[in-house]
Amino acid sequence: MFNLGKALQEAGRTEEAVEAYKEALDIYRGFEDWYREGQTLANLTLIQVASSGPAQARAVWLQAAGAFARANSLAQAAQARAQAAALTAPEKPTDKPTPASPPAHKPAPAQPAPPPPDAPDTAEQ
Count of other CB atoms within 10 angstroms of residue 59: 16
Structure confidence at residue 90 (pLDDT)? 61
Structure confidence at residue 102 (pLDDT)? 67
In angstroms and rounded to an integer, the radius of gyration of the C-alpha atoms of the chain is 30
The residues spanned by each domain of the chain are 2-86
Structure confidence at residue 36 (pLDDT)? 96
The 8-class DSSP code of residue 117 comes to: T
Q: 3.40.50.720, 1.25.40.10, 3.40.50.2300, 3.30.930.10: which CATH number matches 2-86?
A: 1.25.40.10
Hey, CA dihedral for 54, 60, 65, 68, is it positive or negative?
A: negative
Hey, CA dihedral for 64, 65, 68, 70, is it positive or negative?
A: negative
Structure confidence at residue 93 (pLDDT)? 66
pTM of the model: 0.68
pLDDT per residue, tens digit, the chain (125 aa), is 768 888 888 898 989 999 999 999 999 999 999 999 999 999 999 888 878 888 889 999 999 999 999 999 999 999 999 999 998 766 566 677 766 666 666 767 777 777 777 777 655 54
